[in-house]
Copies of this chain bind each other. A is one copy, B any other.
Amino acid sequence: MSKIVMKFGGTSVADIKIMKNAVSKICEEINNKKKVIAVVSAMGKTTDELVKQVKEISSIYDAREYDAILSTGENISASLLVLLLQNEGINARSWQGWQIPINTTENHSNARILSICSNKLEKKFSSGMQVAVVAGFQGISKNNRITTLGRGGSDTSAVALAASTKAERCDIYTDVDGVYTTDPRITSEAKKLDKISYEEMLELASLGAKVLQTRSVELAMQYKVKVRVLNSFNKGSGTILCDEEEIMEKRVVSGITFSKDEAKLTILSVKDKPGVAGIVFDCLSKANINVDMIIQNISDKNLTDVTFSCPTDQVKIAKESLEKGKSNKILDYNRLDIDTQVSKISIVGIGMRSHSGIAQTMFKTLGDENINIKVISTSEIKISVLIERKYLELAVQALHEAFKLSNI
């Protein structure tokens, strides 16, 4: 019994009329004699509306209740999609997280899937069910409380279901044609990629390309799930996520991604002794700051400068937490320099492993455009830089051309 997982995001189930698109996509697979597990997000802006109601009560809230509230959005879209499928004569039923069950950690609002018990699903498929519509984004903890998987968590639901039911494929339907070399809104030269390796996608996803939730890519890589990113509203082959080995001609650079609203914070003249970086980032982590790049320079004898980046909307809290550390005499430093006018650009590509000179090309391209690089950070298949925000679009366009991404 060959199974396909099909995930429909919020824009693909925004209303009853739009849902009919999803119905026809599902019908195509049914006509190909496939069994379908359809994973749905909440309709359009439903989740935002629910969040608004919670925030009306308080900005601090019990995440268990928050999860119980948010999960209702997916429950509604799952059952509505079933009703539409049944109208087409298809044997379909809805499944909420607890009914399968999808077991997760107790880390509410950002839970991780521990296991999926697919017995009941398999049994229903054997007895005639053609489509199981699963409410995405949700699971249950060992205490039988409803958990959610974080924004974009339905992607992870879909990939995990594909892994646990050994599905042939996991198709992620969204409102874009696939994964692009960069954001098409920045340069019309951006090209859709036919294939991308899990590793590259992982870097792109975590760097801010909002096509897939990072954890769904990790899971897909771990369980070798064949993921396709497709457009609900257009025909097209989308982008296939696969193993590096399946990509014959390895591209040096596959994509350019960026994060616009970054801030650079430099803590000047920190006493340079073992454990000091630990203290700095302990202060920041306690304040829930998403620290991204970290650089440490020795500036003077026994003194060091520590630089890090974080999203601009977290600067205020980061500043407060460091100042609190100073006034509590946990942390000793001279000054805090904050630059809120920076953006991060990254180039990603598995070919970097075997090609030299990539960093040099990147830095030279930016230099030729008179763009100053403020911070550099690298991984095996990625190079990231911080630059002045006003140069962001220019930099993306120049790098896109320098790495000949429009010829992919």
Contacts and interface: CB of A to CB of B under 8 A. Distances in A.
A86 B69 contact: no
A117 to B, nearest CB: 13
A94 interface: yes
Interface in A80-114: 80, 82-84, 86-87, 93-94, 96, 98-99
A72 interface: yes
Copies of this polypeptide in the complex: 2
Nearest to A144: B99
A13 to B, nearest CB: 12
Interface in A46-86: 50, 53-54, 56-58, 61-62, 64-66, 68-69, 72, 75-76, 78-80, 82-84, 86
A66 B83 CA distance: 9
A86 B60 CA distance: 10
A16 interface: yes
Contacts of A86: 61-62, 65
B82 A76 contact: no
Contacts of A96: 68, 146
Given A72-B76, A75-B72, A16 B56 contact: yes
A68 B135 CA distance: 11
A80 B69 contact: yes
Nearest to A50: B76
Contacts of A50: 76
A79 B69 contact: yes
Given A53-B16, A57-B87, A87-B58, A75 B68 contact: yes
A94 B58 CA distance: 17
B53 A82 contact: no
A83 B54 contact: yes
B62 A82 contact: yes
Contacts of A58: 83, 87
B99 A83 contact: no
A68 B81 CA distance: 12
A157 B80 CA distance: 26
Central interface residue in A53, A62, A79, by most chain B CB within 10 Å = A79
Interface in A308-364: none
A86 B54 CA distance: 13
Given A72-B72, A99-B144, A79 B65 contact: yes
14 contacts: A50-B76, A57-B80, A58-B87, A62-B83, A65-B82, A65-B86, A65-B93, A65-B94, A68-B79, A68-B94, A69-B75, A69-B79, A72-B75, A96-B146
The 8 closest A-B pairs by CB, nearest first: A72-B72, A65-B79, A68-B79, A69-B79, A57-B83, A65-B82, A16-B56, A61-B83
